[in-house]
Amino acid sequence: MAVAVPSSVSPAGSDTPSVGSRLVAAVKDAAGTALLALGLAVPILALRLDQDINNQPFLRPRWDYVATAVAVAFAARLAYLLIRPAFAGRRAAPTRATAPAATSARRIAQALAVGGLILLVIYPLLMLALVGRAGAIKWIDNFGIQILIYVMLGWGLNIVVGLAGLLDLGYVAFYAVGAYSTALLVHNFGFGFWLCLPLAGIFAALWGILLGFPVLRLRGDYLAIVTLAFGEIIRLVLINWVPVTNGYAGISGIPRPTFFGLPFNASDEGFAAFFGLEFTPLHRTIFLFYVILALALLTNWVTLRLRRLPVGRAWEALREDEIACRSLGINTTNTKLTAFAIGAGFGGFAGSFFAARQGFISPESFTFMESAIVVAIVVLGGMGSQLGVAIAAIAMIGGTEILRELDWLKQVFGPDFEPTQYRMLVFGLAMVVLMIWRPRGLIATRQPSIFLRERRAVKASLVKEGRG
Amino acid sequence: MEYFFQQLINGVTLGSIYGLIAIGYTMVFGIIGMVNFAHGDVFMLSTFIALIFLMVLTQVLGLGSLAVALFIVLIAAMLLTSLWAWAIERLAYRPLRGSFRLAPLISAIGMSIFLSNLVQVTQGPRYKPAPAILGDVITLYEGTDYTVTISHKQLLIMAVTAALLAAFWYLVQNTAIGRAQRACEQDRRMAALLGVDVNRTIALTFVLGAALAAVAGLLFMVYYGVVHFNDGFVPGVKAFTAAVLGGIGSLPGAVLGGLLIGLIETMWSAYFSIDYKDVATFSILAITLVFLPSGLLGKPEVEKV
């Protein structure tokens, strides 16, 4: 019985299949994935629950959704299978960071940080020059200020999660404390923004200590869940304590920051009139941009300095091994509480700025989702890496904000297609994909703050971290 | 007193649903030490699957018998939700096994965001009403000013929960699958050495947890009569609280914790303040973890240096 040799098998041997057979195998594999996607999509995507004019429920068939899901799954799997060999080859390169490589990586990181800083400082003027006055507000406000708030929150949380290794899923609580203390101080005592800002930070830090105390004994996932519970409790109290917080309706009329006492309005005492400029809301936006930039850089500077202090070294030691820390006589209670308090304090600053920028706050802004986003930024950036956190914030927040700009997709998918509603969908998926691609985050090296003879970056996978 | 008994019935009904979801959390935590953050959203997904199937059977196909329809919906929801859980485990968690500890948790949070937004985008952000079924009530006791009743829905929930828990207990205690599952929970490496397919067993754990969550999903849909894309998070956290309260890793503990959380929530709403009922649950979660980390029926965690 003659067995026909398939023409696609290369004569060189079975361990190096030809491009053709690899393609066939990839298509088969992708077809399997598509079949799975079909099984997953049909029950939830194919029929949409709707109500007609008489409020009678009926099912609206949406087979186009299923077709799209299956096609996307097929294409994604096929692309992954065809691209993967290129990645696999690169991964075979030596993994241990040698000293010269680490030095050059540090130089690149430094150049990136300096370049990024210069770009940030000239960003508003650059936008003004590129898109003109009308477009600049959107780009400075939606992109610049929005991203910088998350960069600041990420850096603040990085003290708790990245340096001290305490996973905090309720960080948004301190953001809320900062925002609400600003709003309440403004309304009840008539304080201005610049007085509220430090007070908000102090209040948030006090709350950090208050919530830090009971969780000192907990570790890892348990700590994460308890902090999540605290975050939710604070939000629920904000919703239900209507006499003070005005519940769901929120608090409005929070005054904007002033420029050394000069408000940004069209009056004669305003900023524009004082400097003899034509009034435009752009002044305030640009000013707010520089305020949040300064606050974020302050967070970064304090963190970098603290890392070199005994308390900062104790945080990192705590992250690596709590038992060894205790054996060496480090007071873990104080170490954890300072991390909680300082991280929370920066969250409070950010919250105060948020309240003053929006002019209106409500519990809707402080859901668990915000905490999850900030934690995702810290972990995806590479816990403990300041630059990584900034890059992750730009990628995740900027990336999802950019979906607002994709109007051309309407021409592809029809006028009903609204890219913005896929924002969080893409965000969640990106979290999963980035975690699988780089479980240790984008910048997965540690820069020791103290070293013998030469500075050498440490691979994060050699570090235990996050047991606290 | 009559009022108290009525609340007791309501609390046990709610607690049954929490207990069913809690088993998924406790089994996954027991076997791979991970808080499966997306489990609440898998439950939410199953409420939608159940409602869509019920609508297809009763409206499109015109099936007359409600009992048959509910039975088919139950089986379909269990199967399809399990398929989702299997796919999630395969795609989002398995590649991260053995990676550093926070990676699966972050991946699970991402999955949770993805699932709730997938349902929001495809099914719309509104509350979806379910057809009103099993609305009849049985009067248990007629007091002077208050009547204790139990509805057919509540009976259905208690009966289905009891039957499925019994079947599930049998599966875990007396079958090869259950033995492999318990072996992996005790010592994954040893189980692998003795020929247990660990990856398959972990996948199976997710599938079983999701199947029970789907039962809870159907019962939740029947009980409340509406489904919503955001209904995964809070029931999920409450069920997790139940798992922690009962002792994470313990199956009877999860059911006991579920019943307790259901009762506490109902009693709190009935006697104190309905606005702060979630605060009560979250506080119990924090208090249990701080003062009683091994829960009511759990084994204390021994730390080896």
How many structural domains are present in chain B?
A: 1
Angle at A383 between CA A442 and CA A163, to 5 degrees: 155
In terms of Cα–Cα distance, which of A103, A41, A99, A100 is closest to A67?
A: A41
Query: What would the pLDDT profile of B185-204 be if each residue is shown by its tens digit?
Result: 888 889 999 988 999 999 99
Average pLDDT over residues B215-229: 91
pLDDT number for residue B207: 94
d(CA A41, CA A63): 10
Tokens of A296: 């974020």
**What is the chain B residue with the closest CA to A227?**
B286
User: Residue B85 has which token pair?
Assistant: 């859980």
Give the closest residue to B185 by CA, choosing from B27, B25, B24.
Answer: B27
Q: Picking from A1-10, A451-460, B227-236, which range would have the lowest pLDDT averaged per residue? A: A1-10
- Cβ A379–B233 below 8 Å, yes or no? no
Whether residue B113 and residue A424 make contact (CB cut-off 8 A), yes or no, is yes
Q: How far is CA A431 from CA A376, B43, B110, B178, B301, in A?
A: 7, 21, 5, 33, 31
Q: Which two tokens stand for residue A244?
A: 């003070």
Which residue in B42, B76, B38, B204 sits closest to A39, CA to CA? B76
Tell me which chain B residues have a C-beta less than 8 angstroms from the C-beta of A39. Answer: 80, 83
Tell me, yes or no, whether B297 lies in a domain.
no
A372 touches chain B (CB under 8 A): yes
**∠A21-A26-A29 over CA atoms, to 5°?**
125
Q: Dig out the tokens for A218 from the structure.
A: 């907990």
Non-local (6+) Cβ contacts of A22 within 8 A are: none
Residue B21 has what pLDDT? 93
Phi first, then psi, for residue B277 (nearest 5°) are -65, -35
3-state secondary structure of A170: coil
Residues 6+ apart with CB under 8 A from A304: A386
Q: Is residue B14 part of a domain?
A: yes
- Contact B52/A44, CB-based, under 8 Å? yes
What was the pLDDT predicted at A348? 95
* The two structure tokens encoding residue A256: 């904007």
Please tell me which of the candidates B83, B110, B279 has its beta carbon nearest to residue A237.
B279
Q: What is the pTM of this model?
A: 0.87
* CATH number for domain A115-462, candidates 1.10.10, 3.40.30, 1.10.3470, 1.10.286: 1.10.3470
**Which among A55, A220, A233 has CB closest to B279?**
A233
pLDDT of residue B83: 94
**In whole angstroms, how far apart are CA A381 and each of A307, A375, B167, B208?**
18, 10, 45, 34
Residue A332, strand partner residues: none
Cβ separation B244–A225 shorter than 8 A: yes
Residue A428 neighbours by CB under 8 Å, 6+ apart:
B110, B111, B112, B113, B114, B115, B117
B49, A43 in Cβ contact below 8 A?
yes
The residue with tokens 């896929």 is A422
Q: What is the pLDDT of residues A58-114, one digit of tens each?
A: 888 888 888 888 998 899 888 888 887 766 655 544 444 455 555 677 778 788 888
Element (H, E) at A61: strand A57-61
- A164: helix, coil or strand? coil
Please identify among residues 68-127 of chain A the ones whose CB lies closer than 8 Å to any CB of chain B: none
Confidence of residue A467 (pLDDT cuts 50, 70, 90): very low
| Stretch among A315-329, A454-468, B103-117, B163-177 having the lowest mean pLDDT | A454-468
Contact A165, A154 (CB under 8 A): no
Q: Return all residues near A193 (Cβ < 8 A) that are at least 6 apart.
A: A182, A186, A255, A256, A257, A258, A352, A356
- Residues in chain A with CB shorter than 8 Å from the CB of B128 are 49, 57
- In this predicted structure, what is the pLDDT of residue B3? 83
**pLDDT tier for residue B45 given thresholds of 50, 70 and 90:** very high
Cβ neighbours of A118 (radius 10 Å): 10
Closest-CA residue of chain A to B117: A425
In this predicted structure, what is the pLDDT of residue A220?
Answer: 72
State the pLDDT at residue A102.
59
Task: Tell me whether residues B105 and A228 touch, CB distance under 8 A.
Answer: no
pLDDT-derived band at A4 (thresholds 50, 70, 90) equals very low
Q: Which of A362, A359, A366, A312 is nearest to A339 (CA)?
A: A312
Are A45 and B122 a contacting pair at CB < 8 A? yes
B25: containing domain? 2-291
Contact (CB<8Å) A240/B276? yes
Q: Does A304 touch chain B (CB under 8 A)?
A: no
Are A380 and B106 an interchain contact pair (Cβ–Cβ within 8 Å)? yes
Bigger pLDDT: A258 vs A299: A299
Q: Are residues A431 and B106, on separate chains, in Cβ contact within 8 Å?
A: yes
A225 contact B CB<8A: yes
Provide the 8-state DSSP code for A397: I
Residue with the bigger pLDDT between A208 and A98: it is: A208
Is the minimum CB–CB distance between A40 and chain B shorter than 8 Å?
yes
Least confident of A220-224, B50-54, B117-121: A220-224
**A13 touches B at CB < 8 Å:** no
Nearest CB to B122 within list A65, A225, A323: A65
Better-predicted residue by pLDDT, A280 or A165: A165
Q: Which helix (H) or strand (E) holds B140?
A: strand B137-142
Give me the residue from B83, B95, B114 closest to A428, CB to CB: B114
Say if the Cβ atoms of A48 and B129 lie within 8 Å.
no
For position B208, which CATH number holds?
1.10.3470
Integer CA distances (angstroms), B38 to A172, B83, B210, B236, in order = 20, 14, 11, 8
A63-77, A213-227, B44-58: range with lowest mean pLDDT: A213-227
DSSP letter (8 states) at residue A8: T
Looking at residue B33, its pLDDT comes to: 82
Q: Which residues of B touch A379 (CB under 8 A)?
A: 102-103, 106
Which range of A350-354, A461-465, B95-99, B276-280 scores highest in mean pLDDT? It is A350-354
How would residue B63 be classed by pLDDT, with cut points 50, 70 and 90?
Answer: confident
Q: Residue A6's pLDDT is what?
A: 46
* Beta carbons of B99 and A439 less than 8 Å apart: yes
More confident residue, B99 or A188: A188
Residue B298 lies in a domain: no
A8-64 tens-digit pLDDT: 444 444 455 677 788 888 888 889 888 898 888 888 888 888 877 777 778 888 888
Given a contact cutoff of 8 angstroms between Cβ atoms, the answer to whether A361 and A355 are in contact is: yes
- Give the integer Cα–Cα distance in Å for B42 and A242: 33
In sequence order, the β-bridge partners of residue B138 are: B150
d(CA A315, CA A330): 10
Cα A380 from Cα A28, distance rounded (Å):
33
Concatenate the DSSP letters of all residues of A422-433 into one string: GHHHHHHHHHHH
Helix (H) and strand (E) counts in chain B: 11, 4
**pLDDT given for residue A446 in this prediction:** 67
pLDDT value of residue A3:
43
Of A59, A222, A428, the CB nearest to B289: A222
Provide CATH 1.10.3470 ranges for chain A.
115-462
The span from the CA of B141 to the CA of B147, in Å, is: 6
Instruction: Give the pLDDT band (50/70/90) at residue B304.
Output: low
pLDDT above 50 for A1 = no
Give CA separation, B278 vs A152, A193, B259, in Å: 30, 33, 16
Question: In terms of DSSP bridges, do strands A251-252 and B226-227 run parallel, antiparallel, or are they unpaired?
Answer: unpaired
Alpha-carbon span A448 to B111, nearest angstrom = 34
| Cβ <8 Å between A465 and B293 | no
Nearest to B100 among A39, A375, A465 (CB): A465
Give contacts of B92 with chain A, Cβ < 8 Å: 432, 436
Q: What are phi and psi of A48, to 5 degrees?
A: -100, 130
**The two structure tokens encoding residue A34:** 């598509």
The structure tokens 């054996």 sit at A327
Alpha-carbon Rg for chain A, nearest whole angstrom, is 26
- The Cα A143–Cα B207 span in angstroms is 42
Beta bridge partners of A167: none
**3-class DSSP state of A100:** helix
Render A2-28 in DSSP notation, one character per residue.
PPPPPTTS-TT-TTS--HHHHHHHHHH
Nearest in space to A429 (alpha carbons), one of A34, A73, A161: A73
- Asked if residues A386 and A116 have their Cβ atoms less than 8 Å apart, the reply is no
Contact residues, A window 56-75, toward B, CB-based 8 Å cutoff: 57-59, 62, 65
pLDDT at A2 over 60: no
Mutate to test the interface with A, among B128, B289, B294, B304 (most CBs of A within 10 A): B289
Burial of B90 (0-12, 13-18, 19+ CB in 10 A): middle
Q: CA–CA distance from A458 to each of A95, A105, A357, A429 (Å)? A: 12, 12, 40, 29
User: Which residue of A lies nearest to B35 if distances are taken between CA atoms?
Assistant: A221
Q: Which positions ≥6 away from A230 have C-beta within 8 Å?
A: A170, A173, A211, B282, B286
Chain A residues 153-192 with CB within 8 Å of chain B: 167
CB contact under 8 A, A221 and B35: yes
- A43 — contact with chain B (CB < 8 Å)? yes
Distance from C-alpha of A86 to C-alpha of A91, rounded to nearest angstrom: 9
Q: Is some CB atom of chain B closer than 8 A to the CB atom of A236?
A: yes
- How far from each other are the two terminal CA atoms of chain A, in whole angstroms? 67
Q: Which residues of B50-81 are buried (b: 16+ CB within 10 A; e: fewer)?
A: bbbbbbbbbeeeeeeeeeebbebbbebbbbbb
Judged by CB atoms closer than 8 Å, whether chains meet at A233 and B282 is answered as: yes
Which candidate in B25, B47, B118 is best for mutational testing of the A interface (most A CBs within 10 A)?
Answer: B118
Q: Do A240 and B105 touch (CB under 8 A)?
A: no
* Residue closest to A29 by CA, chosen among A82, A69, A66: A82
More confident residue, A124 or A73: A73
Q: pLDDT tens-digit profile of B65-84?
A: 888 889 999 999 999 999 99
CA distance B145 to chain A (A): 32
- Among the ranges given (A434-438, A439-443, B110-114, B184-188), the one the predictor scored with the smallest mean pLDDT: A439-443
Q: Tell me, what's the pLDDT at B305?
A: 55
Would you list the DSSP string of A22-52? HHHHHHHHHHHHHHHHHHHHHHHHSEEEEE-
How close A245 comes to chain B (CA, Å)? 15
Note whether B156 and B220 are within 8 A (CB): no
Is the pLDDT confidence value at B229 over 60? Answer: yes
Q: Is the dihedral of CA A216, A221, A227, A233 positive or negative?
A: negative
Would you state the pLDDT for residue A9?
Answer: 41
Domain assignment present for residue B154? The answer is: yes
Q: What is the per-residue pLDDT for A5? A: 43
Owner of token pair 């006492």: A261
CB contact under 8 A, B55 and A49: yes
Residue A100: what pLDDT? 55
| SS3 label, residue B27 | helix
Q: Name the more confident of A109 and A349.
A: A349
Residue range A339-359: mean pLDDT, rounded: 93
